[in-house]
């Protein structure tokens, strides 16, 4: 057993848990998969930080390639990033996507052991943030970020500084309001008890004391906790439309006035208990609505993809400049792996642009001098020089976000508001007709009490509660299955949708389990030669292929050359070997694939390695289940997979290829103008505009820490097969809400029956309110669970 | 039974103190991160060097 365990531990890298290649890196009986992991281990062991490996097995991350950090020396950029700066100490908050376990917390909170100038560091685990307090005379910001990079925790510093965007999900003021309302409610209930049970004669002296106390507790509830309702009601009346807050504000006002009136003139106990209970419950409903996943960001735009700074050339000198300060005519210096931040013209160098961010096309595109390179492209070979022709904010890509045709969230009418209008009108009609009846009978006292009683009883608190309770229960069910919806309103939108549009790359295919395929033939000796060449490169593709080759020995090599992003060449045991892009090979070849890593040994072509994206599992069944919806596929890629898609989808499905981001957006617009409600599933920046325009945008990702474009929901790739169930559950949720309305109306009829007679005692109101509320809340919760089980989501 | 006046006053005052304590705790950010401290408490202490660990844990 122990031997087995040993073997288990031995088989993976001690630092990151990746499978070990046949030839390992070793240090004091620990094995590593690459020099990077070994390096991190060395740093940690030198600083006596090996506890990092105690809390979890293989907690580390593989190092990515080095990034250029010169811009962190620019004072202007430093001040943009720092939270606080004092004489000698600074505080900065970084967003670090790699944080994932307790070892990360332990290590990042012991940074001071690596560099004494770091005074302290604290992690917020859910937000994946670290706040570092350091002495900027002892360690520069750049040095600090380099230190983090060296131990494998690269902070993500982007133009839209993620860190400053994060706010706590629930607004702080609301929690304080709930606290005050709950406090007042508890006390008022306490002082109302004698009233409920009837006062004996000698306790009568306390009646007015309790009355006044209740009134005192109602004041903060009505004027502080319930303030939002009255302001919202006043603004909505100004705009000549009624929302749900209008009747609620009216009820709060009537309850308060009547309580004050009864207490001051010693007419009775008033309705303080109903008032405080109502406001407390309403605020709880609001709280549930607001509570969302603050550790996931739904509102990303292009700025979170763009770096904060870019290297410009000034009279031939490199100078890092903050992206906001780039002007037309500036010369940019874009290195391998860097993003082009603004539309520009290629002036110098060999550009191989990976435009997958923009078009979804995975093959690098070759650009010649003088061609326009759009923002969002990533350079994959040597450094190039560009001249900016449009400022960042007006680039082709960023225009996607600045379109003015996006639906405004305020004109999304949710079910509640549409019902609220009729509800309020109904209540008013009943209240006024009851008043008129009693006035006609010359009983003004009864008229007044009937009017207030109707308004109190016909409380639409159910309207305000059933929706958030139902939908937040649904949210938590979906959440457990890896479907994170932005908020409760979005669930209502999801229930209305009838059309589903898929992007292909990354949505229908998965980026996780790509497999390396070799077209051609290599014998054992040639495999070793290829592996010996590739092991010298840090390019991710080289690593993948190396793992696939799985050889157990290497030859030594001479004349090694790497043309970044294009390929490698070397002399190994008297063979000239080339591996890389077609344009790099010494002989012209008609290969049947543009992409991939082509291998040439001694001027004879051996074949090429390529990465095949896999279709997601269970796709055919998923499409079968979604037959009720009209489906479309819009891909930015070439049509090489057309036949495959044809077999999965039915013949009526529209499948379009080579769609630009703008074309995707326009397709959705057309559908919406035709009266359809559209769900869009996409993954990349090239779907961002479409995701935003659609009625319900779902960003699909295999790793939640990865960047996703702004959307209404984030879906784990592994949960894609549950999509029909999720949509069905949201529809069922709307059913539950409608049934709870029926229950509420039944209660209201009982209440109104006694209210119109002008004989509603506070006791009746005090009992009816909580009973109806408890019924509704338990009904929605149970019904939601039942439907979730029916849809096999629990 | 007049003692009730005093007792009611006491109970309201106590409740107000608790409410005030909650508001203070909330405003000073005690509920901002409810996840990490639960993990942090499980870490073992290292052997303390010349400098005390305490110095490095500012809130």
Report the percent of chain A where pLDDT is more than 90.
20
Chain A residues with CB under 8 Å of B19 CB are: 179-180, 183
Could you tell me if A134 and A89 are in contact, meaning their C-beta atoms sit under 8 angstroms apart? yes
Instruction: Pick A163 or A578 by higher pLDDT.
Output: A578
By CA distance, what is A187's nearest residue in B? B12
With an 8 Å Cβ cutoff, is A176 touching chain B? yes
Query: What is the reported pLDDT for B20?
Result: 96
Is residue A264 very low, low, confident or very high in pLDDT (cuts 50, 70, 90)? very high
**How far is C-alpha A700 from the chain's CA centre?**
10
Alpha-carbon span A324 to A340, nearest angstrom: 13
The pTM (predicted TM-score) of the whole model is 0.80
Could you tell me if A635 and A656 are in contact, meaning their C-beta atoms sit under 8 angstroms apart? yes
**How far is C-alpha A214 from the chain's CA centre?**
44
Taking residues A30-53, what's their average pLDDT?
Answer: 87
Alpha-carbon span A638 to A756, nearest angstrom: 70
Partner-chain contact A109 B44, CB within 8 Å: no
By CA distance, what is B59's nearest residue in A? A122
Mean pLDDT value across chain A? 83
Distance (Å) from the alpha carbon of A68 to chain B's nearest alpha carbon:
30
Query: What is the reported pLDDT for A790?
Result: 92
Above 90 in pLDDT, residue A24?
A: no
Instruction: Pick A626 or A303 by higher pLDDT.
Output: A626
Taking residues A188-215, what's their average pLDDT?
Answer: 82
Query: What is the reported pLDDT for A4?
Result: 47
Alpha-carbon span A246 to A769, nearest angstrom: 19
> Going by C-beta distance under 8 Å and a sequence separation of 6 or more, which residues neighbour residue A201?
none
With an 8 Å Cβ cutoff, is B51 touching chain A? no
Chain B residues with CB under 8 Å of A134 CB are: none
With an 8 Å Cβ cutoff, is B27 touching chain A? yes
CA A60-A65-A71 angle, 5° bins: 110
Above 70 in pLDDT, residue A8?
A: no
DSSP code of residue A743: H
A254, HSE (Cβ side, Cα atoms, 13 Å):
20
Taking residues A739-744, what's their average pLDDT?
Answer: 87
By CA distance, what is A214's nearest residue in B? B12
With an 8 Å Cβ cutoff, is A116 touching chain B? no
Instruction: Pick A784 or A580 by higher pLDDT.
Output: A784
Partner-chain contact B58 A183, CB within 8 Å: no
Query: What is the reported pLDDT for A611?
Result: 73
Taking residues B20-45, what's their average pLDDT?
Answer: 88
Above 80 in pLDDT, residue A168?
A: no
Chain A residues with CB under 8 Å of B12 CB are: 187, 213
Above 90 in pLDDT, residue B31?
A: no
Query: What is the reported pLDDT for A5?
Result: 47
Above 90 in pLDDT, residue A133?
A: yes
Is residue A139 very low, low, confident or very high in pLDDT (cuts 50, 70, 90)? very high
User: What does each C-alpha distance from A531 to A101, A577, A596 come to in angstroms?
Assistant: 34, 11, 16
Above 80 in pLDDT, residue A439?
A: yes
Partner-chain contact A119 B56, CB within 8 Å: yes
Angle between helices A204-220 and A272-290 (to 10 degrees): 30
Distance (Å) from the alpha carbon of A719 to chain B's nearest alpha carbon:
25
Query: What is the reported pLDDT for A106?
Result: 92
Partner-chain contact B32 A209, CB within 8 Å: no
By CA distance, what is A102's nearest residue in B? B39
Distance (Å) from the alpha carbon of B7 to chain A's nearest alpha carbon:
12
Partner-chain contact A176 B23, CB within 8 Å: yes
Query: What is the reported pLDDT for A641?
Result: 77
Taking residues A638-647, what's their average pLDDT?
Answer: 80
Retrieve residue A781's tokens: 């919760």
Partner-chain contact A123 B56, CB within 8 Å: no
Query: What is the reported pLDDT for A476?
Result: 87
Distance (Å) from the alpha carbon of B39 to chain A's nearest alpha carbon:
6
Distance (Å) from the alpha carbon of A75 to chain B's nearest alpha carbon:
27
Query: What is the reported pLDDT for B9?
Result: 92
Partner-chain contact B26 A209, CB within 8 Å: no
Residues A174, A176, A179, A183: what is their CA dihedral angle, to the nearest 10 degrees?
-120
Above 90 in pLDDT, residue A217?
A: yes
Is residue A220 very low, low, confident or very high in pLDDT (cuts 50, 70, 90)? very high
Q: Which of A120, A168, A206 faces B57 most closely, judged by CB atoms?
A: A120
Above 80 in pLDDT, residue A183?
A: yes
Could you tell me if A501 and A679 are in contact, meaning their C-beta atoms sit under 8 angstroms apart? yes
Query: What is the reported pLDDT for A170?
Result: 62
Phi, psi torsion values for A209, nearest 5 degrees:
-60, -50
Above 70 in pLDDT, residue A409?
A: no
Above 70 in pLDDT, residue A263?
A: yes
Q: Which of A51, A102, A213 faces B39 most closely, judged by CB atoms?
A: A102
Taking residues A532-552, what's their average pLDDT?
Answer: 77
Runs of H (alpha helix) within A14-91: 35-46, 52-55, 75-81
With an 8 Å Cβ cutoff, is B7 touching chain A? no
Is residue A664 very low, low, confident or very high in pLDDT (cuts 50, 70, 90)? confident
Above 60 in pLDDT, residue A3?
A: no
Above 80 in pLDDT, residue A9?
A: no
């Amino acid at each position: 057993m122990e031997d087995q365990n040993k073997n288990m531990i031995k088989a993976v890298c001690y630092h990151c848990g990746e499978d070990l290649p046949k030839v390992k890196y070793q240090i004091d009986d620990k094995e590593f998969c690459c020099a990077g992991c070994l390096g991190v281990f060395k740093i940690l062991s030198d600083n006596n930080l090996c506890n990092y490996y105690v809390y979890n097995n293989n907690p580390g991350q593989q190092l990515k390639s080095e990034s250029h950090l010169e811009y962190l020396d620019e004072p202007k950029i430093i001040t943009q990033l720092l939270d606080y700066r004092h004489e000698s100490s600074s505080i900065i908050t970084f967003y670090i996507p790699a944080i994932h376990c307790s070892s990360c917390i332990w290590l990042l909170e012991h940074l001071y052991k690596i560099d004494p100038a770091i005074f302290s560091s604290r992690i917020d685990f859910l937000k994946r943030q670290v706040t570092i307090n350091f002495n900027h005379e002892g360690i520069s910001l750049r040095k600090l970020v380099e230190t983090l990079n060296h131990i494998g925790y690269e902070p993500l510093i982007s133009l839209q500084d993620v860190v400053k965007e994060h706010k706590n999900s629930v607004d702080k003021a609301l929690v304080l309001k709930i606290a005050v309302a709950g406090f007042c409610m508890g006390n008022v209930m306490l002082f109302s008890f004698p009233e409920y049970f009837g006062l004996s004669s000698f306790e009568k002296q306390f009646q007015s004391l309790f009355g006044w106390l209740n009134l005192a507790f109602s004041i903060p509830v009505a004027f502080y906790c319930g303030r939002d309702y009255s302001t919202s009601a006043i603004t909505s009346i100004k705009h000549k439309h009624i929302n749900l807050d209008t009747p609620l504000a009216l009820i709060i006002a009537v309850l308060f006035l009547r309580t004050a009136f009864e207490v001051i003139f010693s007419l009775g106990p008033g309705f303080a208990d109903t008032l405080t209970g109502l406001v407390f419950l309403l605020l709880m409903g609001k709280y549930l609505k607001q509570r969302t996943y603050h550790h996931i960001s739904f509102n990303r735009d292009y700025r979170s993809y763009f770096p904060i700074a870019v290297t410009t050339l000034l009279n031939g000198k490199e100078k890092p400049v903050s992206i906001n300060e780039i002007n037309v005519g500036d010369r940019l210096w874009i290195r391998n792996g860097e993003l082009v931040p603004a539309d520009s013209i290629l002036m110098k160098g060999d550009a191989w642009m990976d435009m997958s961010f923009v078009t979804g096309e995975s093959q690098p595109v070759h650009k010649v001098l003088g061609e326009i390179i759009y923002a969002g492209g990533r350079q994959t070979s040597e450094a190039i020089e560009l001249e900016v022709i449009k400022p960042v904010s007006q680039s082709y890509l960023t225009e996607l976000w600045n379109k003015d045709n996006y639906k405004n969230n305020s004109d999304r009418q949710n079910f509640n508001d549409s019902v609220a209008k009729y509800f309020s009108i109904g209540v008013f009609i009943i209240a006024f007709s009851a008043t008129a009846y009693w006035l006609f009978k010359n009983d003004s006292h009864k008229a007044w009490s009937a009017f207030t009683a109707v308004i109190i009883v016909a409380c639409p608190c159910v309207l305000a509660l059933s929706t958030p309770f139902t939908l937040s229960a649904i949210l938590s069910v979906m959440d457990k299955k890896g479907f994170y919806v932005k908020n409760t309103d979005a669930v209502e939108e999801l229930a209305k949708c009838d059309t589903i549009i898929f992007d292909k790359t990354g949505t229908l295919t998965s980026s996780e389990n790509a497999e390396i395929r070799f077209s051609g033939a290599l014998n054992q000796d040639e495999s070793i030669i290829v592996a010996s060449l590739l092991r010298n490169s840090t390019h991710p593709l080289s690593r993948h292929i190396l793992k696939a080759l799985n050889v157990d020995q290497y030859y030594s090599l001479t004349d090694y050359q790497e043309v970044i992003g294009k390929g490698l060449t070397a002399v190994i045991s008297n063979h000239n070997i080339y591996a890389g892009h077609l344009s790099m090979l010494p002989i012209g070849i008609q290969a049947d694939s543009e992409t991939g890593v082509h291998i040439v040994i001694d001027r004879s072509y051996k074949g090429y390695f390529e990465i095949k994206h896999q279709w997601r599992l269970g796709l055919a069944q998923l499409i079968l289940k979604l037959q009720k919806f009209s489906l479309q596929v819009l891909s930015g890629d070439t049509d090489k997979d057309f036949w495959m898609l044809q077999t999965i989808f039915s013949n009526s499905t529209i499948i379009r290829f080579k769609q630009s981001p703008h074309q995707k957006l326009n397709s959705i617009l057309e559908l919406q103008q035709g009266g359809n409600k559209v769900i869009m599933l996409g993954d990349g920046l090239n779907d961002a505009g479409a995701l935003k325009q659609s009625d319900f945008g779902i960003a699909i990702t295999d790793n939640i820490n990865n960047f996703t474009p702004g959307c209404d929901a984030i879906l784990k790739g592994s949960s894609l097969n549950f999509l029909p169930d999720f949509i069905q559950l949201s529809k069922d949720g709307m059913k539950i809400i409608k049934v709870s309305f029926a229950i509420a109306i039944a209660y209201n009829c009982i209440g109104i029956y006694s209210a119109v007679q002008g004989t509603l005692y506070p006791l009746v109101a005090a009992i009816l309110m909580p009973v109806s509320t408890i019924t509704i809340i338990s009904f929605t919760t149970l019904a939601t669970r039942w439907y979730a089980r029916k849809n096999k989501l629990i | 039974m007049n003692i009730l006046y005093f007792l009611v006053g006491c109970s309201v005052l106590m409740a107000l103190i608790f409410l005030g304590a909650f508001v203070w705790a909330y405003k000073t950010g005690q509920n901002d991160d409810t996840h990490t401290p639960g993990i942090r408490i499980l870490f073992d202490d290292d052997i303390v060097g010349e400098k005390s660990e305490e110095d490095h844990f500012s809130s």
